[in-house]
Chain A
């Protein structure tokens, strides 16, 4: 049982490039979340999903897209990366009846 895993762990992009961050969970959780954390700050919610095939916007969704084609995976896409998107990205998942979110180890993204 690996819990929540994130791929890649670290990535460097040039401005304008695109990429996809993958979050996978093996706990059969219905809910999944993407957060970003800038230096010295708390996490901010980007997008979330309440089940396979559904997604919704969080606090800071601009510049990101998401997809949840399979229950165990939640993808975060950057179509045209900007330096302001340099951050650490955390994914989390939660079982429907539980109040506890389980977080992944994070992906560090640097946009030059």
Chain B
């Protein structure tokens, strides 16, 4: 599975959009981009995933560049409860038993 690179930390003002970048320059054609988050020391929580099209759900939007070498997770209106570590994962998903390799992630600090 391709490796990902994320900034170690970011700040965001409450109510503003949080844009979390992820680089995955070695991604292959059959690999998906997944985002999970871990609030405090709880178990990670699924946010969203995509292959090449932009995706949106009730939690966030995922924007994948045309060459698929990078992506951005967007939390449209960040709240204090969105303070967490956000992990960007690249994986062949179901075609590789959904084995995930988590990096260090980005610590998002949402400030009042």
Contacts and interface: CB of A to CB of B under 8 A. Distances in A.
Q: Most chain-A CB neighbours within 10 Å: which of B49, B100, B101, B102?
A: B100
B34 A99 contact: yes
A106 B42 contact: yes
Range for the number of chain A residues in contact with chain B: 20 to 34
Contacts of B32: 99
A2 interface: no
Interface residues of B, number: 22
Interface in B16-47: 32, 34, 36, 41-46
Interface of A: 4, 31, 33, 35, 40-45, 48, 50, 56, 58-59, 88, 90, 92, 94, 96-97, 99-106
B97 A31 contact: yes
Contacts of A41: 104
A95 to B, nearest CB: 10
